[in-house]
Amino acid sequence: MARPTTVHVCSECGHSSVRWHGQCPGCDAWNTLVEERAPVTGAGRGRVRGGAGGAAGKGVRAGTPTRLADVSTERVPRLLTAIGELDRVLGGGLVPGSLVLLGGSPGIGKSTLTNMALGNLAAAGRRTLYVSGEESAAQIRLRAERLVGATTGALDVPVLAETDLDTILATLRAERPEVVVIDSVQTMYAADLSGAPGSVGQVREVAARIMQVAKTDGIAVLLVGHVTKEGSLAGPRVLEHLVDCVLQFEGERERTYRTLRALKNRFGSTNEAGVFEMRSGGLVEVLDASARFVAEATGKPGSVILAAMEGSRPLLVEVQALVSPSELVPPRRVVNGLDRNRLALVLAVLGRHAGIGAGSADVFVNVVGGVRVEEPGADLAIALAVASAARGVPLQAGGAARPVACFGELGLTGELRTVGHADRRSAEAAKFGLRHVISPEVAPTLREALRAALPTRAPQAA
């Protein structure tokens, strides 16, 4: 068969060109040309781009639309990975024929998680396949040996160390696994595209062709993808619309806690998140994360418990702040596990509406345990931690010696705004003996929140 030609299509204007250009000849945008297989008439993917598909017209039969009520829906049983947190985030297990993209930075534990999932599935008698373009079969075996304690079937998973897409697809057709892991999508290449593995064109082509096979043969596919420094799934942003489910595995490599979130899920909620801990024998689900964080909370100046939501589950985490005089201009503003911009906003509101200015001091804010909290409900925790650190007094609520729990979003005019699931957050705090929770329901403004939590020296003019 003659090698199919490829075209370079501009992702902005759709202009297609035979050669690659740095600047699109159509719209003058830079770096937008992406290599694709040239549309083939008849066979192949009937992707019609800008009317260039050609095949429209004679000999094409019209489709028959079906009323939704008449569409048959056999309920296919899901494939359970037996990793509770993963199954929950997936919305109750893997759906046969679906494509799941698992993103995360290198070293976070994507291969470990997928190995464990396949091991469990193999132990449950499912046909599995682990395709790796990153490691040799021997390396994969070494990892699997570490996992046998937690995963009985870890060594029963068949592996294929391969990067050529055609070989992988042929193997899929021959082996007909029920679940396959492709680790990672950036290392695979389609021989008929000239782009390097990992380029947008290659990643898209690889995923699209694997999807075709997955859908026709009912294979559940877990595509592993690396995340770039900027936090997007490298190149693979382009895959988000294609796959059924996008999972993000995050946390800091040096820390033990990792969270798994669903950013998109056609078969479940995107509110779910799972917490894992990396141990020497693989990833362990953390079901009592709140208990640990509360027990470890110091209750010293600058420490506060944030009643956060991890998806649909409440999670108590400790937020710590340190305010220290600085020689630097501008002073340092360092955050770990929170949004940097939220710190800037909270500091501005603290200075303007509560008379607590960080001024020229360095401010460090940290979520303990390497957890990332990305929700506006964390504002009040940042504010209280910084205020407590700046004043050098520990927070207290109701005169109790327990750490103070809080949640709430900060408005620019110094008001506290309600956030979702207030009842569940308070209930989680109560469960761990934190009865006094400072929230927008108790304190409508930041000033009142500070008055309630820093009772000895209330903010000036209060």
CA dihedral 377, 378, 379, 385 (to 10 degrees): 140
Q: Which stretch binds Mg ion (CB under 5 A): 1-9, 22-30, 109-117, 170-178?
A: 109-117
Task: Indicate which of ligand TYD, Mg ion, none lies near residue 109 (CB less than 5 to 8 Å, by partner kind).
Answer: ligand TYD
DSSP letter string, 328-358: SSSPPEEEESS-HHHHHHHHHHHHHHSS---
Tokens of 221: 């596919």
Check binding of 107 to ligand TYD (CB under 6 A). yes
Contact 260, 273 (CB under 8 A): yes
Distance of CA 2 to the CA centre of its chain: 41
User: For 444, which DSSP code?
Assistant: S
Q: Measured from the CB atom, is 81 or 187 closer to Mg ion? A: 187
Nearest 5°: the CA angle 69, 70, 73 is: 90
> From the CB of 110, what's the least distance to Mg ion, in Å?
5
Check binding of 278 to ligand TYD (CB under 6 A). yes
Q: Measured from the CB atom, is 133 or 314 closer to Mg ion? A: 133
Q: Measured from the CB atom, is 133 or 282 closer to ligand TYD? A: 282
- Residue 270, classed as helix, strand or coil, is coil
Check binding of 225 to ligand TYD (CB under 6 A). no
> From the CB of 239, what's the least distance to ligand TYD, in Å?
17
Of 108, 160, 221, 317, the one binding ligand TYD (CB under 6 A) is 108
Of 39, 91, 93, 109, the one binding ligand TYD (CB under 6 A) is 109
> From the CB of 144, what's the least distance to Mg ion, in Å?
13
The structure tokens 């960080």 sit at 358
Check binding of 281 to ligand TYD (CB under 6 A). yes
Q: Which residues in the 250-279 window bind Mg ion by CB under 5 A?
A: none
Task: Indicate which of Mg ion, ligand TYD, none lies near residue 107 (CB less than 5 to 8 Å, by partner kind).
Answer: ligand TYD
Diameter of the chain measured on Cα atoms: 85
Name the residue among 142, 137, 174, 136 with its Cα closest to residue 158. Answer: 137
**Separation between Cα atoms, residue 252 and residue 335, nearest integer Å:** 13
- Residue 174, classed as helix, strand or coil, is helix
Tokens of 152: 């009985």
Q: Measured from the CB atom, is 10 or 108 closer to ligand TYD? A: 108
> From the CB of 183, what's the least distance to Mg ion, in Å?
6
Check binding of 111 to Mg ion (CB under 5 A). yes
> From the CB of 127, what's the least distance to ligand TYD, in Å?
23
Contact 189, 197 (CB under 8 A): yes
Residues within the interface to ligand TYD (CB under 6 A): 104, 106-112, 143, 146-147, 278, 280-282
Residues within the interface to Mg ion (CB under 5 A): 111
